[in-house]
């Protein structure tokens, strides 16, 4: 039997993941509030759905790729939502990055409807999504993981089974918190180097080759030197990771002092009006504070 896939959420990552599943030979039915990516995928052979309920009604497996917890809950349980169109036995895999604790509640509610649920957040930027080389962290029943693995193989080259429902989101959160901490550290320390008279380009050469090296440094320092803060996830969107960490810390009684300090840096950036910048834009907070910019000579303002 040919498995038919539904895909809801065709944004920066979702459009390419859906296209790669389509190219892998899965019949595809797609939905997004924005008609442009729907039309794009329809041009590649996908069917266009008129609502989340419509997308769920005619497929065997349904994938979501949505911006946040609130929207996932609305798409699944809201008016014309997935549960209104889904048949019992539908497999629903959430590729979004949302809260760990809300994920457990979504699973509980879907079980009451006879819908099989898994969380499978992804890691990797748009370029890797286009290439089908993202990392997928799967949380759910292991048998279900084996069942949907062919679709996951179409979108990623690192497919990792993490455990039961929620394990995927928790793993993604761990990864994102470490990345966010690195970004906040760069934001705080690099303007200090300039304030004290060091040359930004020479500092960059040392930091991106020495023991201070990190993925965040390799990615954001060259862009910062060029005064570019338009590549990567916006600060205000990434802040959801800090909220999730705070919820877990509060509910589980786990102290997270460095994570909390990073959250303050994110809050300062948003308060200063830098929320639409990439995480590299966190540096603007401390540059403004110290009156020192980490840029190469002649970088466009």
Q: What is the pLDDT of residues 91-113, one digit of tens each?
A: 999 999 999 999 999 999 999 99
pLDDT (mean) for 136-155: 97
204: pLDDT confidence band, cut at 50, 70 and 90?
Answer: very high
Q: Which of 70-79, 125-134, 286-295 has the lowest mean pLDDT?
A: 125-134
pLDDT (mean) for 21-47: 96
pLDDT tens string 51-77: 999 999 989 999 999 999 999 999 999
Compute how many other C-beta atoms are within 10 angstroms of the C-beta atom of residue 149.
Answer: 14
Q: Across all residues in the chain, what is the average pLDDT? A: 95
**Rounded to an integer, what distance in angstroms lies between the CA atom of residue 82 and that of residue 52?**
5
pLDDT (mean) for 123-147: 94
H-only helix segments in 208-297: 215-225, 235-252, 257-271, 283-290
pLDDT of amino acid 301: 61
Helix (H), strand (E) at residue 179: helix 167-195
**Rounded to an integer, what distance in angstroms lies between the CA atom of residue 142 and that of residue 179?**
28
Across 151-186, b (16+ Cβ under 10 Å) vs e yields bbebbbeebebbeebbbbbbbbbebbbebbbbbbbb
Q: What is the three-state SS of 97-111?
A: CCCHHHHHHHHHHHH
- The answer, as to whether pTM is greater than 0.95, is no
2: pLDDT confidence band, cut at 50, 70 and 90?
Answer: confident
pLDDT tens string 222-259: 999 999 999 888 999 999 999 999 999 999 999 999 99
* Percentage of the chain lying above the pLDDT 70 cut: 99
**Rounded to an integer, what distance in angstroms lies between the CA atom of residue 293 and that of residue 275?**
18
**Catalytic residue ranges:** 172
Which domains does the chain possess? 5-164 (3.40.50.720), 170-290 (1.10.1040.10)
pLDDT of amino acid 221: 97
pLDDT of amino acid 1: 60
pLDDT of amino acid 233: 85
pLDDT of amino acid 114: 95
């Amino acid at each position: 039997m040919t498995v038919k896939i539904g895909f809801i959420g065709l944004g920066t990552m979702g459009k390419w993941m859906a296209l790669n599943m389509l190219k892998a030979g899965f019949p595809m039915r797609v939905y997004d509030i924005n008609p442009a990516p729907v039309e794009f995928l329809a041009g590649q052979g996908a069917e266009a759905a008129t609502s989340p309920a419509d997308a769920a009604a005619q497929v065997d497996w349904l994938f979501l790729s949505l911006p946040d917890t609130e929207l996932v809950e609305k798409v699944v349980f809201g008016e014309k939502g997935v549960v209104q169109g889904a048949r019992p036995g539908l497999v629903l895999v959430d590729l979004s990055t949302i809260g760990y604790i809300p994920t457990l509640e979504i699973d509980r509610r879907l079980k009451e409807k006879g819908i099989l649920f898994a969380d499978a957040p992804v890691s990797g930027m748009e370029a890797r999504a286009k290439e089908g080389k993202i990392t997928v962290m799967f949380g759910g029943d292991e048998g279900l993981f084996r069942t949907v693995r062919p679709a996951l193989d179409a979108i990623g080259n690192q497919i990792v089974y993490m455990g039961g429902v929620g394990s995927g989101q928790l793993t993604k959160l761990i990864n994102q918190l470490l990345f966010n901490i690195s970004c906040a550290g760069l934001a705080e320390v690099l303007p200090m180097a300039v304030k004290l008279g060091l040359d930004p380009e020479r500092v960059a050469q040392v930091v991106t080759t020495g023991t201070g090296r990190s993925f965040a440094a390799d990615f954001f320092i060259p862009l910062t030197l060029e005064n570019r803060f338009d590549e990567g996830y916006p600060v205000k969107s990434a802040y959801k990771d800090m909220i999730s960490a705070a919820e877990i810390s509060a509910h589980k009684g786990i102290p997270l002092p460095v994570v909390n300090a990073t959250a303050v840096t994110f809050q300062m950036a948003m308060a200063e009006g830098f929320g639409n910048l990439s995480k590299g834009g966190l540096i603007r907070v401390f540059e403004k504070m110290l009156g020192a910019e980490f840029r190469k000579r002649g970088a466009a303002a």
